[in-house]
Amino acid sequence: MDKLKNKFAEKALPKASEIKEFIKENGDFVLGQYNLDAVFSGQKGMIGLITETSLLDAEEGIRFRGYSIPELSDKLPKVTGGNEPLPEGLFYLMLTGDLPSEEDVHDVTNNWARRAIVPKHVFNVIDAFPLNAHPMTQFSAAIMALQTESEFAAAYRKGVNKKDYWDYTYEDTMNLIARLPRVAAYIYRKTYKFSEHIEPNPKLDWAGNFAHMLGYSNEGFSELMRLYMTIHADHEGGNVSAHTTHLVGSALSDPYLSLSAAMNGLAGPLHGLANQEVIRWVLELQAELGGGKPSKQQIEDYIHKTINEGKVVPGYGHAVLRKTDPRFTAQMEFAKKHMPNDELVNIVWDIYDITPTVLGTIKKIKNPWPNVDAHSGALLLHYGMKEYDFYTVLFGVSRALGVLASLIWDRTLGLPLERPKSVTTDWLKKTIAAKKASA
């Protein structure tokens, strides 16, 4: 058993028994009530999921196992000479609940490097797509192609005992995370760089190696990838990609099937695709004005134009958050350090100055503040990654860390098939009418 698996088993198996006892003792505790509005508003705020890896607060933002992003920046190990947290460390923390030592993080890096070989047929599947296939379509399909390697699916077919599900889910998760950067970089180089592929360098950390395979040798870009892969990894359980992983996994679909499904959700413009939409929106604004830096008035006019055309302002708003997303702030801090004079970054900051006030005047919008996607594209463009259709794939590689760590917990806790009740509007009308009549 590898060291992380051993550590996880030591922590999680007793925890699973403890949680079973906790449910037995408190099963009848009432958590809340919901009304018809809640049902028609996408179940916002209804507690219906257990996710151990992170918890979101509307005002404060995300905490991973109790740690905020600034705390993680301070406490998670870094590469020698680096400033950004290593995503390996965040994965360790999300999985075990403990902060990793430098050595723990090193072990995870080596563990993933050992597992990183991608079978040839996966590359063939990617190569079969036309160049105009969206990178997220290619990414989701490539994860499906990787499913031939699922140890969970193979073990299930052989008749594995339920109590060992977590073990095979762990193996699939580790293999999948190890291989995703290679798969994603392959898609990037195939689609945009004439299929001039770059072999992995197993001596590098996971995110550093990803930057290398994408073809970016600037250390600033590697640092950005470490930060990016850390802050996008998890956002509690109800967001579309996390919930999808959990839902599909609840049918005992293996981690490959679950993650591929999640990536199809992440590819939606109200979720992860917003990161490409932000840059598209800013570039269109610039193009409309004939280039250069728009004035604040021009930005304000463009926001109004967007709203009047019945569209959303990408990168702003959130289903849970009611303040500036700390993931936005973390990227802003990075930009202040590495590229304070970058024109596009400064436009993003001007948009941040103006948009909350404008959106704040529209009553129906619950959160006028920026989310994670409002800033990321400008950072990537600064280092020369101009192919914005690829940005959501970067989000997807990172998101795998959180949702798959959660899936291991799902299988450890023996969480059941998810199956909420649905009703028809007719049923609601009849039920409400009957209740009113009897009152």
Residues in contact with ligand CMX by the rule CB under 6 A: 239, 270-272, 274, 307, 312-319, 364-367, 371-373
Catalytic member of 373, 375, 382, 410: 373
Cβ proximity to ligand CMX: between 1 and 270 the closer is: 270
Task: State the residue for tokens 């919008």.
Answer: 365
Joined together, the tokens standing for residue 97 give 């609940």
- Active-site option among 235, 246, 271, 375: 271
The amino acid occupying position 102 is E
Candidates 353, 203, 59, 138; CA nearest to 68 is: 59
Q: Can you tell me the distance from the alpha carbon of 138 to that of 129, in angstroms, rounded to the nearest whole number?
A: 7
Alpha carbons 197 and 185: distance in angstroms, whole number: 8
What is the per-residue DSSP string for 280-338?
Answer: HHHHHHHHHTTSSPPPHHHHHHHHHHHHHTT---TTB--SS--S--HHHHHHHHHHHHH
385 burial level (CB within 10 Å; 0-12, 13-18, 19+): buried
Closest to ligand CMX by CB, 82 vs 356, is: 356
Catalytic residue check, 318: yes
What tokens appear for 163 in the block? 């109590």
Contact 409, 52 (CB under 8 A): yes
Q: For residues 213 and 403, which CB has a smaller minimum distance to ligand CMX in the complex?
A: 403
**Nearer CB in complex with ligand CMX: 161/308:** 308
Residue 99 buriedness (CB in 10 A; 0-12 / 13-18 / 19+): middle
The residue sitting closest to ligand CMX, measured at its beta carbon, is 317
How near is the Cβ of 207 to ligand CMX at its closest, in Å?
19
SS3 content of the chain, % helix, strand, coil (to 5): 65, 5, 35
The CA distance from 340 to 393, in Å, is 26
For the bound state, the minimum distance from the C-beta of residue 271 to ligand CMX, rounded and expressed in Å, comes to: 4
C-beta of residue 146 within 8 angstroms of C-beta of residue 118: yes
> In the structure encoding, which two tokens stand for residue 197, read together?
């592929």
Nearer to ligand CMX, 175 or 355 (CB): 355
Q: What is the nearest approach in angstroms of ligand CMX to the Cβ of residue 313?
A: 4
Q: Which of 212, 243, 318, 382 is catalytic?
A: 318
* In the complex, least distance from residue 68 CB atom to ligand CMX, rounded to whole angstroms: 18
Report yes or no: 29 and 21 within 8 Å, Cβ to Cβ: no
Q: Is 373 a catalytic residue?
A: yes
Q: How far is the CB of 318 from ligand CMX (least distance, A)?
A: 5
Encoded tokens for 339: 């590229």
Instruction: Select 80 or 308, whichever has its Cβ closest to ligand CMX.
Output: 308
> DSSP string covering 152-185, please?
HHHHHHHT--GGGHHHHHHHHHHHHHHHHHHHHH
Would you give the DSSP letter of residue 118? P
Residue nearer to ligand CMX on the CB measure, 345 or 372: 372
Listed residue (82, 87, 78, 54) closest to 68, CA to CA: 54
Could you give the residue numbers annotated as active site? 271, 318, 373
